[in-house]
Amino acid sequence: MAKRRSTIKDVAVEAGVSATTVSHVLNKTRYVSPEVTANVYKAIEKLNYKPNHMARSLRGAGTKAIGVIIADIREEFFAEIVKSIEKFCNRSDYIVYLCDSEDKIEKEAKYIQSLLAKDVDGIIISPVYSNTKISSLLDADIPIIQIDRYSKNIDSFFIGINNKKSALEATSYLINNDSEKILFVGYNDNVYTQKLRREGFLEAIEKNNRKVEYNIVSLDYMDNETLCTELGNAIDNYPDFDTVFCTTGKLCYNFLKAAMKKNLLQSQKLKILTYDNSKWLDLLKYPISSIKQPTEDIGRIAVEKMMNYLNSEEKICAESIHLDTELLIRK
């Protein structure tokens, strides 16, 4: 075996022309007579020649690959976004490196290094924190796009949702529907989305005339098991809430698990609202209202922007797009 992959030179010899001509035929980069063209294609066919992307890239063309860095591919929210990114990249014959940061800045940094070393044409990232300086990204001269989360230290286009507004709307809805004591469950403020969602929540409470009590649970990112335990503790520490507002689908899932263990879900008295519209919500024994994020749009717009950059039709600039969410009420 050990069949050597045939090169452009093999094709050239087989077709009786120079490698230059083969290259030009392949890339349609200058005129080549019909007969020669035909011969070249015949040779390519015969030798089953496939251009070597690496050599091509080395010469200066792009790699036709982009990196995508997200926190956890198992979360529906990220899976949907990645699916969308993948789909639209594929249409432009780009291929994606999947980088799962596990929400750890060290792994994030390592992946950025890897991606740059691999000479990706661009990076789409949902940064772990909103305040970490990723120096390597700064002087990389490839386009960066931030999705979902935004770090002010990365000078780039951003596509995500209107976090504050959506939280404000949702909280207002809760208050207007007789919530009097709300448990707000979110991650710590270093995460871009979390800070804004909390601000929206607080603003809604402030603006409202009626008396509303609340407690805030602020967590670090962790695995489901630990999260479940933590939320169990939270339930014990802050009793008597009539409403729960979770800032991510993962948090909501684990809250439900914890609540179930404590038999909190028997009486249908508790009102629950969460970000992320898991497709399973409709099938739960318990009604959960949700804030649906336009995941497909986020992925699509990110890729569209990236392609615009890469074809240099568009100059890179630090614009931001905040899409609206949809509040889905379940009773």
Nearer to a copy of itself, 127 or 299 (CB): 299
- Minimum gap (Å) between residue 97 Cβ and DNA: 20
Residues 81 to 110 in contact with a copy of itself, rule: CB under 8 A: 82-83, 86-87, 90, 93, 95-100, 107, 110
286 in contact with a copy of itself (CB under 8 A): yes
Please identify which residue in 9, 118, 262, 330 interacts with a copy of itself, judged by CB under 8 A. 118
Site string for a copy of itself, 131-160 (x = CB under 8 A): --------x-x-------------------
Tell me if 303 sits within 8 A of 88, measured CB to CB. Answer: yes
User: Of a copy of itself, DNA, none, which one does residue 18 interact with (CB within 5 to 8 Å by kind)?
Assistant: DNA
Task: Tell me the one-letter amino acid at 26.
Answer: L
Closest approach of a copy of itself to the CB of residue 52, in Å? 7
Q: Which residues inside 202-231 make contact with a copy of itself, applying CB under 8 A?
A: 224
Beta bridge partners of 323: 161
Q: DSSP for 206-243?
A: HH--S--EEEEEEE----HHHHHHHHHHHHHHSTT-SE
Q: For residue 206, what is the DSSP state?
A: H
**Closest to 196 measured CA to CA, from 227, 156, 169:** 169
If the CB atoms of residues 60 and 239 are measured against DNA, the closer one turns out to be 60
Tokens of 124: 């789409």
Closest to 185 in 3D by CA, of 286, 269, 276: 276
Residue from the set 39, 63, 130, 163 that interacts with a copy of itself by CB under 8 A: 63
Burial 107-135 (b: 16+ CB within 10 A, else e): bbbebbeebbeeebbbbbbbbbbbeeebe
Q: Residue 61 or 329: which CB sits closer to DNA?
A: 61
What distance in Å separates the CA atoms of residue 97 and residue 108, rounded to the nearest whole number? Answer: 13
Tokens of 138: 């700064």
Say how far apart CA 79 and CA 129 lie, in whole Å.
20
Q: 256: which strand partners?
A: none
Residue (116 or 260) nearer to DNA, CB: 116
Report, in Å, the least distance between residue 219 CB and a copy of itself.
18
Residue 60 binding partner per list DNA, a copy of itself, none, with a CB distance cut-off of 5 to 8 Å that depends on partner kind: DNA
Residue indicated by tokens 């997200």: 70
**Least CB distance to DNA at residue 141 (A):** 12
Is position 167 an interface residue for a copy of itself (rule: CB under 8 A)? no
Q: Three-state SS for 266?
A: coil
Please state the closest distance from residue 243 (CB atom) to DNA, in A. Answer: 57
13, amino acid identity = V
- Provide the 8-state DSSP code for 5: P
At 241, list the tokens.
């809430």
Residues contributing to the site for a copy of itself (CB under 8 A) = 1-3, 48, 50-55, 57-58, 63-65, 68, 72-74, 76, 79-80, 82-83, 86-87, 90, 93, 95-100, 107, 110-111, 113-119, 139, 141, 224, 253, 256-257, 260, 278-280, 282-286
